[in-house]
């Protein structure tokens, strides 16, 4: 499908996309397919395509302590049930050099298709908020203000780069996977993802991007056809996005920030405020970090209302999964 076709709304059917997945699996020497999932719409669709294609696969869900909301965890498990991922494993990782070893051990005997739920701490055993106090605000890197933020690198990429090898290429151990990245998401992704299949020799990865030319609306249409939209949409209605990361510095619109803040519990908002107020003095007013922190603090001020003492409960929870 051409980019023009995607723009015109001429989306392929779920069956056509599943055929791409089958071909990718058949053409590469792998034991199973890695499918990173976040509980969001794009990863839900690629997970569904792996199930529809009937290829052996492991869905890997990275859960960030202090940042991933229980709504998100519950959505992933509901999707697993719907998509037939009866094998389930939960593993906690921290020390970098042992990640691949621990993931491999967790997979032993796991019935495919399998859901691998990875609870990822930093190498020091920190959750998201502890790490942010040490690393600073997760500002984007790179010459043009886009790139990998430390939070993605520390909590997600560190795990994804150390997934166990599931195949071979030119006699070497290799990783094969499928991701829901769309080139239509940003100019950066349009430049980076120029093909449906991309190989990175340095990290020994080959990935399929079956949604590359689709739009958000087409993804929702396909989820409706697969009867998965009702499982995923409630998160977007409440948070405006998937709460795999409840707080994200890359949310720029005030309306989106306010929606995210409104969805948080009072305890979560209190934790966010304390952390941001501690970080703000580190930055000059002209920096991205200062401007972004200020927007979030303004949203907190706009959303928070005084709560009568009688209404405050001692057992108030932040709504995060530790």
Residue 286 binned pLDDT confidence (cut-offs 50, 70, 90):
very high
pLDDT band at residue 9 under the 50/70/90 scheme: low
pLDDT in tens, 48-67: 999 999 999 999 999 999 99
pLDDT confidence band for 72 (50 / 70 / 90):
very high
The CATH number of the domain holding residue 49 is 3.40.50.620
User: Which of 177, 199, 233 corresponds to the end of one domain?
Assistant: 233
- 320 in a structural domain: no
pLDDT of residue 252: 79
Of 61 and 302, the structure prediction assigns the larger pLDDT to 61
Residue 23 pLDDT exceeds 60: yes
Both tokens assigned to 92 = 């906690």
Residue with tokens 């020994």: 204
3-class secondary-structure state, position 58: strand
- Relative to beta strand 87-93, strand 33-37 is unpaired
> Which residue range forms the structural domain that includes residue 221?
3-233
Residue 38 and residue 185 in one domain: yes
Report the distance separating Cα 33 and Cα 57, nearest Å. Answer: 4
Asked whether residue 99 falls in the same domain as residue 117, the answer is: yes
Model pLDDT, residue 303: 84
Summarize pLDDT for 112-133 with one digit per residue, the tens.
Answer: 999 999 999 999 999 999 999 9
C-alpha 167/C-alpha 207 separation (Å) is 12
Number of domain units in the chain: 2
Structure tokens at 128: 């998201």
Domain co-membership, 78 together with 167: yes
Measured CA to CA, the distance from residue 22 to residue 51 in angstroms comes to: 10
Residues 131 and 212 in one domain: yes
Please tell me the predicted confidence (pLDDT) of residue 145: 43
Report how far Cα 234 is from the mean position of its chain's Cα atoms.
17
pLDDT of 189: 83
- Pair (160, 245) in one structural domain: no
Shared domain for 14 and 49, answered yes or no, is yes
Same domain, 110 and 138: yes
Residues 150 and 222 in one domain: yes
Is 301 in the same domain as 201? no
Please check whether residue 303 lies inside any domain of the structure: yes
Residue environment code for 116-127, b if the CB has 16+ CB neighbours within 10 A, otherwise e: bbbbbbbeeebb
Q: What is the dihedral of CA 249, 254, 255, 261, to 10 degrees?
A: 50
Of 75, 115, 56, nearest to 91 (Cα)?
Answer: 115
Give pTM, 2 decimals. 0.88
Q: Mark out the alpha helices in 174-287 (DSSP H runs).
A: 187-192, 216-225, 229-239, 254-263, 266-279
User: Do both 140 and 213 map to the same domain?
Assistant: yes
């Amino acid at each position: 499908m051409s980019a023009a076709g995607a723009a015109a709304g001429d989306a392929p059917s779920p069956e056509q996309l599943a055929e791409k997945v089958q071909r990718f699996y058949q053409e590469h020497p792998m034991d199973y397919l890695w499918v990173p999932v976040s509980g969001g719409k794009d990863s839900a669709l690629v997970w569904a395509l792996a199930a529809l294609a009937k290829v052996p696969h492991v869905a890997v869900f990275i859960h960030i302590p202090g940042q991933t909301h229980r709504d998100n965890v519950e959505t992933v498990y509901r999707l697993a049930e719907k998509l037939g991922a009866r094998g389930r494993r939960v593993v906690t990782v921290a020390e970098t050099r042992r990640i691949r070893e621990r993931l491999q051990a967790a997979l032993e005997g796991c019935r495919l298709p399998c859901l691998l739920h990875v609870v990822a701490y930093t190498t020091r055993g920190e959750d998201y908020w502890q790490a942010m106090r040490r690393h600073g605000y997760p500002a984007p890197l790179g010459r043009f203000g886009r790139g990998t933020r430390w939070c993605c690198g520390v909590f997600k990429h560190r795990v994804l780069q150390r997934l166990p090898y599931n195949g071979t290429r030119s006699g070497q151990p290799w990783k094969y996977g499928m991701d829901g990245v769309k080139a239509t998401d940003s100019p950066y992704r349009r430049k980076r993802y120029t093909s449906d299949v991309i190989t990175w020799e340095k990290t020994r990865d080959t990935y399929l991007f079956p949604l590359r030319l689709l739009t958000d609306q087409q993804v929702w249409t396909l989820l409706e056809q697969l009867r998965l939209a009702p499982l995923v949409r409630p998160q977007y209605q409440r948070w405006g996005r998937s709460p795999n990361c409840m707080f994200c510095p890359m949310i720029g619109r005030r309306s989106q920030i306010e929606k995210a803040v409104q969805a948080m519990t009072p305890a979560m908002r209190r934790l966010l405020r304390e952390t941001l107020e501690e970080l703000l003095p580190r930055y000059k007013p002209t920096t991205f970090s200062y401007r972004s922190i200020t927007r979030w603090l303004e949203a907190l001020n706009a959303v928070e209302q005084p709560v009568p003492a009688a209404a405050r409960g001692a057992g108030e929870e932040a709504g995060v999964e530790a």
